[in-house]
Amino acid sequence: MRAFAIPIGLAAALLLASCGANPRYETRRPDPTSALVVEPTLPGTRVMVDGTIRGEVGRKRLVIPVADGTREVRLLAPGGGERLVSAFIQNGSRRTIDPAKAFLEPQ
Protein backbone atom coordinates (compact mmCIF):
# COMPACT_ATOMS: atom_id res chain seq x y z
CA MET A 1 0.00 0.00 0.00
CA ARG A 2 2.82 2.36 0.88
CA ALA A 3 4.51 1.61 -2.44
CA PHE A 4 1.54 3.16 -4.27
CA ALA A 5 1.21 6.23 -2.02
CA ILE A 6 4.63 7.68 -2.84
CA PRO A 7 4.26 7.66 -6.67
CA ILE A 8 0.68 8.97 -6.45
CA GLY A 9 1.76 11.75 -4.08
CA LEU A 10 4.67 12.64 -6.34
CA ALA A 11 2.41 12.72 -9.40
CA ALA A 12 -0.09 14.94 -7.56
CA ALA A 13 2.68 17.36 -6.51
CA LEU A 14 4.02 17.59 -10.08
CA LEU A 15 0.52 18.15 -11.44
CA LEU A 16 -0.18 20.98 -8.98
CA ALA A 17 3.19 22.58 -9.66
CA SER A 18 2.56 22.60 -13.41
CA CYS A 19 -0.93 24.09 -12.99
CA GLY A 20 0.29 27.23 -11.30
CA ALA A 21 -0.46 26.27 -7.72
CA ASN A 22 2.71 28.12 -6.74
CA PRO A 23 2.33 31.49 -8.48
CA ARG A 24 5.28 33.78 -8.92
CA TYR A 25 4.69 37.31 -7.74
CA GLU A 26 6.31 40.27 -9.41
CA THR A 27 6.48 43.70 -7.92
CA ARG A 28 6.14 46.37 -10.56
CA ARG A 29 6.51 50.07 -10.08
CA PRO A 30 3.73 52.04 -11.65
CA ASP A 31 4.84 53.99 -14.69
CA PRO A 32 5.63 57.54 -13.70
CA THR A 33 3.25 59.96 -15.35
CA SER A 34 4.29 63.56 -15.83
CA ALA A 35 1.61 66.05 -14.84
CA LEU A 36 0.72 69.69 -14.46
CA VAL A 37 -0.89 70.54 -11.12
CA VAL A 38 -2.97 73.72 -11.05
CA GLU A 39 -3.71 75.06 -7.56
CA PRO A 40 -7.31 76.10 -6.74
CA THR A 41 -6.38 79.71 -5.96
CA LEU A 42 -8.52 81.29 -8.71
CA PRO A 43 -11.70 79.21 -9.24
CA GLY A 44 -13.21 79.37 -12.70
CA THR A 45 -9.87 79.68 -14.48
CA ARG A 46 -9.77 77.57 -17.64
CA VAL A 47 -6.50 75.80 -18.40
CA MET A 48 -5.24 75.22 -21.93
CA VAL A 49 -2.23 73.01 -22.57
CA ASP A 50 -0.64 73.26 -26.01
CA GLY A 51 -3.78 74.86 -27.47
CA THR A 52 -6.31 72.40 -26.02
CA ILE A 53 -8.60 73.19 -23.08
CA ARG A 54 -7.80 70.56 -20.45
CA GLY A 55 -9.96 71.65 -17.54
CA GLU A 56 -11.28 74.33 -15.25
CA VAL A 57 -10.02 75.18 -11.77
CA GLY A 58 -12.54 74.38 -9.06
CA ARG A 59 -12.24 73.77 -5.33
CA LYS A 60 -9.62 71.05 -5.67
CA ARG A 61 -6.28 70.85 -7.42
CA LEU A 62 -6.52 70.18 -11.11
CA VAL A 63 -4.08 67.42 -12.13
CA ILE A 64 -3.48 67.19 -15.88
CA PRO A 65 -1.38 64.27 -17.21
CA VAL A 66 0.98 65.48 -19.94
CA ALA A 67 3.78 64.10 -22.07
CA ASP A 68 7.38 64.95 -21.19
CA GLY A 69 8.80 68.11 -22.69
CA THR A 70 8.09 71.83 -22.76
CA ARG A 71 4.39 72.62 -22.52
CA GLU A 72 2.66 75.93 -23.22
CA VAL A 73 0.06 76.51 -20.52
CA ARG A 74 -2.48 79.29 -21.09
CA LEU A 75 -4.58 80.40 -18.12
CA LEU A 76 -7.91 82.06 -18.96
CA ALA A 77 -9.34 83.94 -15.97
CA PRO A 78 -13.11 84.21 -15.46
CA GLY A 79 -12.88 88.01 -15.79
CA GLY A 80 -11.23 87.83 -19.21
CA GLY A 81 -7.53 88.00 -18.33
CA GLU A 82 -5.04 85.66 -19.93
CA ARG A 83 -1.55 84.48 -18.92
CA LEU A 84 0.93 82.26 -20.70
CA VAL A 85 3.18 79.98 -18.62
CA SER A 86 5.89 77.75 -20.09
CA ALA A 87 6.48 74.51 -18.19
CA PHE A 88 9.23 71.93 -18.73
CA ILE A 89 8.35 68.47 -17.42
CA GLN A 90 10.31 65.23 -17.56
CA ASN A 91 10.64 61.74 -16.05
CA GLY A 92 7.33 61.62 -14.21
CA SER A 93 7.77 64.98 -12.52
CA ARG A 94 4.97 67.37 -11.65
CA ARG A 95 4.96 71.11 -12.23
CA THR A 96 2.70 73.16 -9.97
CA ILE A 97 1.10 76.33 -11.29
CA ASP A 98 -0.62 78.90 -9.08
CA PRO A 99 -3.07 80.92 -11.23
CA ALA A 100 -3.45 83.78 -8.73
CA LYS A 101 0.32 84.20 -8.57
CA ALA A 102 0.62 84.00 -12.36
CA PHE A 103 -1.88 86.85 -12.78
CA LEU A 104 -0.08 89.00 -10.20
CA GLU A 105 3.27 88.76 -11.97
CA PRO A 106 3.92 91.28 -14.76
CA GLN A 107 4.13 89.89 -18.26
**Domains of the chain, earliest start first:** 35-104 (2.60.40.1120)
Q: At 33, is the pLDDT very low, low, confident or very high (cuts 50, 70, 90)?
A: confident
Report the alpha-carbon distance of residue 65 to residue 81 in Å, rounded.
25
Report the alpha-carbon distance of residue 41 to residue 103 in Å, rounded.
11
- pLDDT tens-place string over residues 70-86: 999 999 999 889 999 99
- pLDDT tens-place string over residues 45-58: 999 999 999 999 99
Query: 6 vs 94, which has greater pLDDT?
Result: 94
Q: Which residues make beta-bridge pairs with 35?
A: 65, 94
- pLDDT tens-place string over residues 84-94: 999 999 888 99
